Amino acid sequence: MKDTRNSDDSLEKAIALAGEAIRGARSIVVLTGSGVSAESAIPTFREAHEALVDDEGNTMSALWAEFDPQTLATPEAFDRDPEMVTRWYDWRRLKCLEAEPNQGHLALAEIERRTRDRGGAFTLLTQNVDGLHQRAGSGRVIELHGSIMSWRCSRTGRRTEIPGDAFETYPPLHPETGDPLRPGVVWFGEALPPDAIDTAMHTLASCDLFVSIGTSSVVYPAAGFIHLAREAGARTIEVNPDATPISGAIDIALRGKSGEVLPVLVEKLGS
Ligand code: APR
């Protein structure tokens, strides 16, 4: 297998190779993580804590300073302190609503369109809960970790409409059941939505190109998807400014920001 890990000066060449791989692929699976939304000013998951502490103008910062988001993302945290957890997720939800899709999101929607136009298959598996891929025009988005825009009763699972601005109480209450609402995201220790994982397994088993973008590849099962794709014989591309635990299994590494690299990649695809 050809190793094309690039230094900065070979990025252009690696992008050209990636363009060829995309043009020639029959079935593409893209996996995204929070790095894709970093250029939309949504802090990556593991940076969120730092961003909150640094942001002195933000009234939430004092409240959040002592909390690690990773410890808030559990059912146990919600059971222990539903007010704190729902405040945190509502703060994130409003940030996501304010954000706009960036050039990376838009480029992925364009790659999907072009792949479909030439009869290829394209599936976007995302660990992001922010809805920005859909807003950028991506058609087939599988939300592996759910959505921060969809909340449900913590007891019955019944979904309900939520306001476009902040909730009035924390935790917010389901209008019919009166029980606390929880965000429709997958917390640590919870199972992924069965439909999403089924689609992921199915498409990975038959893909011939796998592209990992903006994920640290430390959270399973998504971190293991590359190995399933390789077992299916797929070539692999990674877009990330930094190396990750999967970088050793990558054929073409594009070391840069997705909002910068992906638009250049689209140019290489031609019209
Ligand atoms: N373009 C591309 N990649 C970027 C950019 C950028 N502009 N900025 C940062 N990155 C990369 C970082 O180098 C890092 O590898 O994005 C990755 C972000 O990693 P994490 O913060 O760990 O986010 P993610 O991989 O999405 O986390 C996975 O963990 O806690 C769970 O549910 C949460 O979905 C999340 C999952």
For ligand 1, atom 5, name the residue with the nearest CA: 35
Distance 179 CA to ligand 1 centre (A): 33
Distance 220 CA to ligand 1 centre (A): 13
Closest C-alpha to 213, from 103, 69, 61 = 103
Assigned fold of 11-41+101-145+191-269: Rossmann fold (3.40.50)
Question: Could you say which architecture CATH assigns to the domain 43-98+150-185?
Answer: 2-Layer Sandwich (3.30)
DSSP single-letter state for residue 242:
S
Two tokens at 107? Answer: 């480029």
Q: Is 263 in the pocket of ligand 1 (CB under 6 A)?
A: no
- What pLDDT does 42 receive? 84
CA distance 97 to 89: 12
- What pLDDT does 45 receive? 65
For ligand 1, atom 13, name the residue with the nearest CA: 242
Peptide bond into 180 cis (omega under 30): no
Closest C-alpha to 258, from 76, 82, 124, 113 = 124
Q: Is 32 in the pocket of ligand 1 (CB under 6 A)?
A: no
Biggest distance spanned by C-alpha atoms of the chain: 59
Q: Which amino acid is at 259?
A: G
Of 105, 145, 174, 202, catalytic: 145
- What pLDDT does 1 receive? 38
What does residue 15 show for φ and ψ, rounded to 5 degrees?
A: -65, -40
Specify the pTM.
0.91
Q: Is 238 in the pocket of ligand 1 (CB under 6 A)?
A: no
Burial of 50 (0-12, 13-18, 19+ CB in 10 A): exposed
Q: Is 257 in the pocket of ligand 1 (CB under 6 A)?
A: yes
For the chain, domain boundaries = 11-41+101-145+191-269, 43-98+150-185
CA distance 136 to 147: 16
Handedness of CA 196, 199, 204, 207 (dihedral sign): negative
Q: How many residues does the chain have?
A: 271
Over the range 244-268, which residues count as b (16 or more CB within 10 Å of their CB) and which as e?
bebbebbbbbbbbbbbbbbebbbee
The pLDDT averaged over each successive group of 10 residues in the chain (271 residues) is 54 96 98 95 66 47 56 90 92 92 98 97 97 98 97 97 95 96 95 97 98 96 98 98 97 98 94 71
CA distance 101 to 130: 10
